[in-house]
Amino acid sequence: MTEKEKMLSGQIYSAVDEQLIKELNETKDLIHQYNLLMPTQLDKRREMLMDLLGHVGDDRVFINQPFYCDYGKHIRVGKRFFANFNFTVLDEALVTIGDDCFVGPNVSIYTACHSTDPVERNTRREWALPVTIGDNVWIGGSVTILAGVTIGDNVTIGAGSVVTHDIPSNTVAVGNPCRVIKTL
């Protein structure tokens, strides 16, 4: 198996693999270009998102600049997706976001995982777990979503929350760690 195949399958892989570094840098170049586009260049922005992301649900997908991601191709967004400023996605694993999802400013999604043992961590070996977000989800500003989390449909995540575990459908959840406070 290649290091990329290991990464995408949730196995431990070398984060300093030559091919992975090459792909990361190529994506950084594309992200840099995207972030330099004039806000009025809507058609060019949509075109770049279609090329950058793994799946785009329709032409009404909109991500405000600046936007940051690691690979891009591991991100799948549904129809009418909107993300505000400073959306950051570390997509070492698949990130799937459903239809009609709205993301506030300064939201981060992390799929990469690292050992808590400093000796092991310094080997640059890591693993990644997917993140899945259902349909009709609102993620408030400055939310952090950690690796392996699934957020159901019709969910609101309150601003500033840190989502460390799954959140069921039809709920409002807030806090650090994020917890359900209301069922809809």
Q: 26: which 2 tokens?
A: 């190529």
Active-site residue identified among 32, 55, 74, 114: 114
* Cβ neighbours of residue 142 closer than 8 Å, sequence gap 6 or more: 104, 105, 106, 107, 159, 160
- Residue 139: phi, psi to the nearest 5? -115, 115
- Whether residue 114 lies in the annotated active site: yes
List residues with catalytic annotation. Answer: 114
